Structure 1
């Protein structure tokens, strides 16, 4: 039976949704910064009957306990997720990660390959933020801090980061966009440690060659913050990777083009789950 609850993990409490089917392969979904575990609602619905879907909120995000540190690093989030997996007793986990979730996922599979049967990354990379971008990021974050959140032009900029131009101009996507615009405009200061953690993340390209976990990489052709070239280098650096480029899609492929992307993810995970039982 499915459940939504909190669990103590290390020094925090993480909230999560768990569809609960103990006899099905497990998919662990790791969300984007500024979004939360509900960004995988569509995937969970599409996966019903095929996979057990577990969706946590990261430390300091969603419904999970607020962060107590000034910066929540990607390494700390990876440690949280390792402890979360062990607390739930999950085995042969299939990771589905978007944006920040991918930063965490790569660290996880590099550290604990024994826990994972596959990895799917969407709108993510293995790079740190380029130095030339950091001054702009710091200015943007400070402007939002002074406003008490993301409003007006700052919110418009954030929408342009999270969603591609084609999506923003698509009449059929307006309800989805408005939903997340409303959610992001309600962001409060409790998210700042997570924002800083993503902004100051370290590059981990050097870890890629040691990762053998079968990986599907989904890259939006219009992604401005994790551009196609960054996905290309992840695919080239991993031992066992498949790259899918999605046209007219930006930074959030599973939300912008679910009709195209979710079936490919389900098929990939299904293939890996079948291989694991062969």
Structure 2
């Protein structure tokens, strides 16, 4: 795809009133929650463009169709149990179709995907962190449970927390027009994360090195810092600047550094 074609696609995404995630871009439909958001929160009419996207790179321009009069009427498309998009997990909920007005376009997944793993903090800060990492274009988001993590979660709470963080990423992706949703992992132990991340990953640590050109993943510790055993895991360290950062701020700085390095490397590869 040429630079001009890329800009044209970005312009089309930005001009749309919003982006919604659907299960099937061939026959796009939204659930009752999304339909209510489009009609009553955003107050969109039938003449306004909505982008329907599957979160995997395929998307098309659509318009709102005539509203479904009542879920009891049995009209509409029914959601399958287990579909990955949408806030509802209830099987058989009625979906409202969208009217396609453009062809299906497919965006390739970004080369050199970047990952940020961050230690879970108290309260709703992990949700804020996932929201911002999604907006910044991070491809994989890994909430970490480290030796000094204060928050401890049981198995059921781990699944509930992961579901909530994925919904946050979905909402953020809609706002920032991401055609590829990030992969948001369940909260993961530091030891398990080490087995899944590339050995070129770096630990955010004051006094560390600069970002290595081959680094595509950064791990950010908790407010109390890394445990000595974690620092001795064999990964390189990364200095995020001269000030003491909150854990969630450090995750965003890591994302900006990774994204800027990727963009520059891709520009050089394209000869720009």
Q: Which protein shows a greater Rg?
A: 2
TM-score by length of 1: 0.31
| Higher normalized contact order (CA 8 Å, seq sep 6+, divided by chain length) | 1
Instruction: Compute the TM-score of the two structures, normalised by the length of structure 2.
Output: 0.31
